[in-house]
Amino acid sequence: MTLVADFDAAISSEGLNPYPDKPRITFRLDGTFKITVFSDLHFGEGPETIWGPEQDSNSTRLMRKVLPEEKPDFAKTPDTFRENSTTLVDRIVAPFNEFRVPFASSHGNHDNQVNITHLEEIIRERQVSSFSYTRSVPPGVGGEGGPGNYWVPHPVLILWFFDSRGGFSPGENSTAVPDWVDSSVAEWIESETALMEDEWGPAESRGALAFVHIPPRVVQSLQSTLDHTSNPGLNEDTLGQGSTQATTQDSDAGKDEPFWNALNRYIKNIHAVISGHDHGNEWCSRETAKNVIFCFDKHSGYGGYGEYWWGFGIRNLVFTSTDPKDGVNTWIRLEGGEIRARIVLDDNYGGFFSALIPLSTDSLVQYECHLAMPIVTISRTSITDN
């Protein structure tokens, strides 16, 4: 209780309140918080065909089904759509406006194209939705095409969003944009966390979640060690060239290391680093060198590559305590309601299923991440352990 009160006072100050005109995102009074993540919506493919608009309609249907059932207070969306205009942003955020759900977005390779940029999408999103918590990093941070680095404060939890860039630069002489979080973000992480410690006290008193569209390169080494017991969920995408950051060309090896090292050095109590991009993967695994858990999202959009039998859905994360050392329940929920790949993200994760933390039957908070971009929503909903 003291920690929450101290944090409240801190974020109401001028220095570290990035959202002075928006409601503050908080845990419920019972200490629970639920996040639903939508990923890889891929809106706007084949606009001149029958199947293209049909895909978008199916993706919107999924969002409109999940949101009222999960009753989120906040959502995470991946700003990933197919090389089209910013008007697609209007369609993607419409369900969040309709159900009055606050949300934030992360950006990746499909959001930088000859006729669109991450910054244009961020500006448009904020114009068409008062529920958007997405913002951009100060000039000089993020590198070419990567302005979408920011954080959203909660009483005892910081949500970090990182721009993995990729795609192509705008204009006639378009060139490929690097597909990793720029090294300048490493110094920004260090400076932001220092400001947080000055205002809110030791970083160890807060938890964290990190969202980035393209997975860090280091997770490629995890795939060969997976087993179905401790790493449940689809494992249908073999990780290789272009599947993780800085792998499109061999000469790019190591380019995402400054970001990865700073993330794990300066941000404490990271419950998980969560990515989309690889539609056929749903698993989580612990990266032992940094002792951090990595998780894939669930492909939410009917656009983009994939097999129909993989299904479409979201990843849920449920906090049952404001203690940053306590575990987080997570699982994949498909559009029809099927649940799979349930695990607990805690210090014991990496062996057999940890016992699931009992879930309150009261409301919870939810995040969503998606678009071929991720969307995070926070929701309060009555849930059962199913």
Per-residue pLDDT reduced to its tens digit, 61-100: 999 999 999 876 677 876 555 555 667 889 999 999 999 9
State how far the Cα of 316 lies from the Cα of 235, in Å rounded to an integer: 18
User: Residues 232, 238, 243, 245: is their CA dihedral positive or negative?
Assistant: positive
**Backbone phi, then psi, for 30, in 5-degree steps?**
-85, 5
Q: What distance, in Å, lies between the first and last C-alpha atoms of the chain?
A: 31
Neighbours of 99 (CB within 10 A): 19
The rounded distance, in Å, linking the Cα atoms of 117 and 111 is 6
330: three-class secondary structure by DSSP: strand
* pLDDT value at residue 137: 84
Positions in the chain whose pLDDT score sits under 70: 1-15, 72-73, 78-86, 109-115, 145-147, 155, 351-386
Predicted local confidence at residue 115, as pLDDT: 62
The pLDDT assigned to 53 comes to 93
Kindly report, residue by residue over 273-332, the tens digit of the pLDDT: 999 999 999 999 999 999 999 999 999 999 999 999 999 999 999 999 999 999 999 999
Classify 120 as helix, strand or coil.
helix
2-378: which CATH architecture? 4-Layer Sandwich (3.60)
CA distance 218 to 264: 13
The four Cα atoms 76, 81, 83, 87 give a dihedral, to 10 degrees, of -80
Sort strands 103-107 and 75-79 into parallel, antiparallel or unpaired: parallel
CB atoms closer than 10 angstroms to residue 339: 13
Distance CA 220, CA 336 (A): 31
Hey, what amino acid is at 11?
A: I
What is the structure's pLDDT at 385? 31
For the chain, give every domain's residue range.
2-378
Question: For residue 227, what are its two tokens?
Answer: 């087993």
Which of 139, 176, 152, 179 is closest to 163 using CA atoms?
179
Q: Give me the pLDDT at residue 382, please.
A: 29
Burial category of 172 from C-beta neighbours within 10 Å (exposed 0-12, middle 13-18, buried 19 and up): exposed
Token reading at 367? 């995040």
Q: CB within 8 A of 169, min separation 6: which ones? A: 112, 114, 144, 145, 175, 176, 177
